Amino acid sequence: MSTTETINFTRGVPANESFPTDEIAAAAQRALQKQAVAMLQYGPAAGLAAFREWLAQWQQVPVERVLTGNGSLEIVEFLCIALLKRGDFVLTESPSYDRALTLFRRNGAEIEGVPLQADGPDIEALEKILARRVPRLFYVIPDFQNPSGATCSGAKRRRLVELADKYDFLLLEDAPYRLLRYRGQDEATLYSLAPHRVLHMSSFTKLIAPGVRTGFMLGDPELLAKIGKVAEDTYISPGYFAHGVTAEWCAAGKLGPQIEKLKKLYAPRLDATLAALDKHMPDAVATRPDGGFFLSVTLPDGTSTTALRAAATRHNLNLADGLAFFPNGGGERFLRLPFCALTPAQIDEGVRRLSIAVREVKH
Ligand SMILES: Cc1ncc(COP(=O)(O)O)c(C=O)c1O
């Protein structure tokens, strides 16, 4: 590993070598042989029938509870247009996924962040907010959260659902990393605890490849119909071609083995990140996730990520801006480390450079 090679601890992208290219090519050919017209023609905005049906069976829900889209993020945009008025109150975790924050903000929502703890949102802080003002929805990433890596405990999941029922707001559960658990036990989804209260979304972009732009939402059919109408008015129907290929690939039983392959590739990268932090930055306060794409580090007192980013660049290390993940400020000492697209050797060298940069800017 040369010390001049640039290392990017910036974006949460999958590893290039994880893409099942040959399988996708074969699935495309089979899908076109089976249903070329359906895949190549316009159709309902809710999704290509074969794909929706496969998803409904996989998720054990009626088909009218499934909406598909071109990735999951754009469904959030449609949800904002369909369900939010300007000035509506929206809660997110703090920190939260920066692109979702942008969408809520762009659609005129007033956002307040609920501090995120190692085991999920701070419930006491949430209850204080709820006593003052009830949101239209609370956007939560319960599994291997982006950007922190935190996973919400079972007890907090149950409490979130109780509070949503008591105060009458929606939970928007975003779970693109849920299936990438490298160890430990799954917690119940919010959706399984309260299908009447929760819109659950997930995506194949982390499981197959971002290029398939295939995501979905599960939830109340009336809400999904409203969201689907915005989708229809925007693009008529989603990318049926990619969805048909995804459906064929899934129906051929490829998803399970692909997830196993991803776990084999990514678990050592998570372990390498934790080991590198122990070795080069033993005093670092880091989350220790059991899966997903990210862990996060709280920098020592007096160390800002803004200064650190500049110092890291001088060592050919690129870091992401931590501030963008915080809806109401804060995050000056927050650093997200996405580990999936780096080899263990790059991770060790990257964390070594990080430790040098931290020493340089600490005062
Ligand atoms: C929490 C979260 N939600 C949604 C997305 C976007 O997913 P998609 O590619 O399906 O739009 C990402 C991508 O990084 C993410 O981290």
Cβ of residue 174 lying under 6 Å from some atom of ligand 1? yes
- Give the largest CA-CA distance in the chain: 65
Q: Give the 3-state secondary structure of residue 201.
A: strand
Cβ of residue 72 lying under 6 Å from some atom of ligand 1? yes
State in Å: Cα 72 to ligand 1 middle: 6
Q: Is residue 58 part of a domain?
A: yes
Clarify whether residues 102 and 247 are in a common domain.
Answer: yes
Contacts of 213 (CB under 8 A, 6+ apart): 70, 71, 205, 239, 242
> What is the number of the ligand 1 atom nearest to the C-alpha of 214?
10
Whether residue 221 has a cis bond before it, omega within 30° of 0: no
DSSP line for 225-283: HHHHHHHHHHHSS--HHHHHHHHHHHHTT-HHHHHHHHHHHHHHHHHHHHHHHHHH-TT
CATH of the domain at 126: 3.40.640.10
Q: What pTM was computed for the model? A: 0.97
Neighbour tally for 345: CB within 10 Å: 10
Q: Which two tokens stand for residue 256?
A: 């399970």
Cβ of residue 92 lying under 6 Å from some atom of ligand 1? no
Clarify whether residues 203 and 265 are in a common domain.
Answer: no
Clarify whether residues 269 and 242 are in a common domain.
Answer: no
State in Å: Cα 206 to ligand 1 middle: 8
DSSP line for 120-150: EE-HHHHHHHHHH---SEEEE--SS-TTT--
CATH of the domain at 322: 3.90.1150.10
Domain with 114 in it: 21-251
Tell me the pLDDT of the chain (363 aa) as tens digits: 666 799 999 989 999 999 999 999 999 999 999 999 999 999 999 999 999 999 999 999 999 999 999 999 999 999 999 999 999 999 999 999 999 999 999 999 999 999 999 999 999 999 999 999 999 999 999 999 999 999 999 999 999 999 999 999 999 999 999 999 999 999 999 999 999 999 999 999 999 999 999 999 999 999 999 999 999 999 999 999 999 999 999 999 999 999 999 999 999 999 999 999 999 999 889 999 999 999 999 998 888 888 999 999 999 999 998 899 999 999 999 999 999 999 999 999 999 999 999 999 986
Clarify whether residues 160 and 79 are in a common domain.
Answer: yes
Q: Which of 75, 151, 174, 246 to mutate to test the pocket of ligand 1 (most atoms within 8 A of CB)?
A: 174
Clarify whether residues 246 and 343 are in a common domain.
Answer: no
Q: Give the 3-state secondary structure of residue 109.
A: coil
Q: Which of 78, 177, 200, 205 to mutate to test the pocket of ligand 1 (most atoms within 8 A of CB)?
A: 205
